[in-house]
Amino acid sequence: MTEEIVVKPDDTSVEYINDRLRNIRLYRDKDAKVVAQEMGFTKQMLSNYESNRDSNPTYKTIEKFSEVYDISPEYFYLKLTPKEYLEFEKAKDIFNQINQMPIDLKRYVLLTIDLHHRENLLTLGRQQYWKR
């Protein structure tokens, strides 16, 4: 008989996971009843997970939530909002694509990004200066 591993990264992990379960459902604009059906349990069970009335979900349960919400399991353990996490994922994809480019093209793209970033910082600095 195998026992499921319960993931407990730190003392506050249950609260983070429960909050994140609710936040990602609301961010994805999914109905609790639909999510519960997709997960294979009742709406009350989903409510228990989202409101911290249930024990820490197993990693297998987190993986299932990840599939339902189309998001990586790591989302549930990072201190990012759903929007920030999805932007982070997009950035990772972009940089993975850049890393696959030939070295000359990669240097050009990274230099262009760096110059654009510097221009944004200068613009922000000018805006802050004129607000004084």
* Sequential DSSP letters for 37-57: HHHTS-HHHHHHHHTT-SPPP
Smallest CA-to-CA distance from 22 within 56, 50, 59 is with: 50
pLDDT at 111: 80
| CB neighbour list of residue 44: distance below 8 Å, 6 or more residues apart | none
* Predicted local distance difference test score (pLDDT) of residue 2: 43
Question: Would you list the DSSP string of 104-132?
Answer: HHHHHHHHHHHHHHHHHHHHHHHHHHHH-
What's residue 67's pLDDT?
A: 93
How far CA 47 is from CA of 22, 44, 53, 85, in Å, comes to 9, 5, 8, 23
Residues of the chain falling short of pLDDT 50? 1-12
> CA quadruple 92, 94, 95, 96: dihedral positive or negative?
positive
Residue 64 CA to residue 92 CA, distance in Å, equals: 23
Q: Which fold has domain 13-81?
A: 434 Repressor (Amino-terminal Domain) (1.10.260)
Q: How far apart are CA 55 and CA 31, in angstroms?
A: 23
Domain spans in the chain, listed from the N-terminal domain onward = 13-81, 84-131
Residue 68's pLDDT is 94
